[in-house]
């Protein structure tokens, strides 16, 4: 990691006796699931946390819509207000914990806190994916830290792993299951044979999915997280707007069953892969339902759990696994960030771990997200045909379209719902998405084909 020049090394900056003994004073906006969990864990483990941080961490003021409810959580020793800006600019607050969510007002609160010289801790991945470049630039200008471990995969310390544990590595790819709601739904579709709507209803009944689950099931939440991971992995700005995002709402139960026949499981994967070569230099940044070999570690991640794999040139493949949601699970990450902030006193900004893992002057603004057509993966195709004897015609047609077919077979009849005609299942070798798209469009016009052709990516995630 390149270090910014330090103005002077003659007199190291040491914490004053006042700040060394005074607790880190925290102001929090929001006392819902994340905020309440953070307060509980801080209270329960306060001595342990102080021993690790070198000083106490004390919640001094909370902003909440319902002051009565907030008092029921934090008691009478914490000041309460319903004005977020009062917390963001409070003179007795050292660090703002933004736990309210959203992107509009939250941006204003965070920037106000930064301008007031306060550090910020947040688990708000939507805020950072949308406004992170602006927020991090403001933080550098004012010499404060913005910490966000809880924004990606909750209890899994993947941001710290990329920024610190794997700092010696040239990262080749990051991939994982980073949304617990969709993983729960897909696990139910595979394990119990449920349709998407049934599995979603179960997820909502159990509290794994919101009443409006759009951000989860359309892949947007996962894309927020992958944009943050890609920036930390490759030294690029946040490029959430350029990510290719596909959710699971159009996924058929039939394809889950056919994937199993072929030895695969379908997962909603986030993938960030650096690709370099004579004719290409960029990053694949995408979220999509994809087939993963049933023997792969990611295929074993079920229910609402999350897992992230990282391929580095020195470390090889590492995997990080843990809860992807939960009040105290998120609090674990938020408080870890608070401990990091508590240790910052006396540390020059240039000597801190950078917000996105790379010091600002080394971030490559030219590193772009590759277009969808340039993504290069294996593929699964399900082709409905009028007659099982037309399997050879499908394979021949794909070969003529320059699609490298490696396996062709018929879906087993017992896998097919009643009144479903024969289905040809195809696995390809690695091929550009543009080639597959053209082949699927052409195949749809073939006289042997009886309906829409389904195409999904196959991720091997080689070591």
User: What residues are annotated to the active site?
Assistant: 225
Joined tokens for residue 359: 């010091």
Number of neighbours of residue 295 by Cβ within 10 angstroms? 10
> For residue 431, what is the enclosing H or E element?
strand 431-432
Terminal-to-terminal C-alpha distance of the chain:
24
CA distance to 26, 419, 431, per residue, from 179 (Å): 29, 34, 27
Cα separation, 226 vs 228, whole angstroms:
5
Q: Which two tokens stand for residue 243?
A: 């990510």
Question: Do 431 and 367 form a contact (C-beta atoms < 8 A)?
Answer: no
Cβ-proximal residues to 415 (8 Å cutoff; 6+ apart), any chain: 254, 257, 258, 261
What torsion, rounded to 10 degrees, do the Cα atoms 246, 166, 34, 244 define?
Answer: -10
The tokens describing 84, both together, are 């977020």
Distance CA 10, CA 193 (A): 67
Is the distance from CB of 114 to CB of 142 less than 8 angstroms?
A: yes
Distance of alpha carbon 214 from its chain centroid, rounded?
16
User: For residues 247 and 276, what is the distance between their CA atoms, to the nearest angstrom?
Assistant: 28
Using CB atoms within 10 A of its CB, is residue 9 exposed (0-12), middle (13-18) or buried (19+)? Answer: exposed
Would you state the structure tokens that stand for residue 254, as one six-digit string?
A: 């039939």
Instruction: Report whether 62 contacts 31 (CB < 8 A).
Output: yes
Residues 178, 31: Cα–Cα separation, whole Å: 24
How far is residue 5's CA from residue 360's CA, in Å, rounded to a whole number?
Answer: 12
């Amino acid at each position: 990691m390149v270090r910014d020049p330090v103005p002077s090394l003659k007199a190291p900056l040491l914490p004053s006796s006042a700040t060394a003994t005074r607790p880190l004073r925290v102001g929090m906006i929001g006392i819902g699931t994340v905020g309440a969990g953070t307060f509980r864990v801080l209270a329960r483990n306060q001595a342990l946390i102080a021993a690790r941080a070198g000083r106490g961490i004390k919640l001094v003021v909370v902003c909440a819509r319902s002051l009565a409810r907030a008092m029921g959580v934090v008691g009478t020793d914490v000041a309460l207000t319903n004005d977020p800006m009062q917390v963001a600019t409070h003179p007795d607050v050292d660090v703002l914990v933004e736990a309210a969510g959203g992107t509009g007002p939250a941006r204003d609160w965070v920037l106000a806190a930064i301008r007031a010289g306060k550090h910020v801790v947040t688990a708000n991945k939507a805020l950072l994916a949308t406004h992170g470049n602006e927020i991090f630039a403001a933080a550098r200008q004012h010499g404060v830290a913005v910490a966000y471990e809880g924004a990606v995969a909750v209890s899994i310390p993947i941001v710290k792993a990329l920024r610190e544990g794997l700092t010696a590595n040239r990262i080749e790819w990051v991939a994982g299951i980073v949304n617990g709601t969709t993983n729960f739904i897909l696990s139910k579709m595979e394990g119990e044979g449920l349709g998407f709507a049934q599995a979603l209803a179960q997820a909502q009944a159990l509290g794994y999915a919101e009443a409006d689950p759009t951000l989860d099931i359309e892949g947007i939440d996962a894309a927020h997280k992958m944009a943050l991971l890609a920036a930390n992995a490759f030294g690029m700005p946040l490029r959430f707007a350029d990510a290719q995002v596909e959710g699971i709402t159009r996924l058929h139960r039939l394809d889950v069953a056919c994937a199993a026949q072929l030895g695969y499981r379908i997962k909603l994967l986030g993938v960030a892969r650096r690709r370099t070569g004579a004719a290409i230099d960029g990053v694949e940044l995408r979220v999509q339902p994809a087939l993963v070999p049933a023997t792969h570690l990611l295929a074993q991640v079920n229910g609402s759990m999350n897992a992230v794999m990282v391929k580095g040139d020195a470390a090889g493949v590492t995997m990080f696994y843990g809860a992807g949601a939960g009040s105290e699970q998120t609090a674990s990450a938020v408080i870890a960030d608070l401990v990091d902030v508590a240790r910052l006193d006396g540390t020059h900004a240039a000597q801190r771990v950078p917000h996105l893992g790379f010091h600002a002057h080394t971030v490559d603004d030219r590193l772009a997200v590759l277009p969808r057509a340039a993504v290069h993966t294996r593929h699964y195709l399900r082709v409905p045909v009028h007659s099982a004897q037309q399997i050879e015609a499908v394979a021949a047609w794909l070969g003529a379209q320059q699609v490298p077919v490696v396996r062709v077979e018929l879906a087993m009849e017992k896998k097919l719902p009643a009144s479903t005609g024969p289905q040809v299942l195809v696995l390809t070798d690695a091929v550009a998405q543009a080639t597959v798209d053209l082949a699927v469009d052409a195949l749809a016009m073939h006289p042997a084909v009886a309906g829409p052709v389904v195409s999904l990516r196959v991720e091997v995630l080689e070591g």
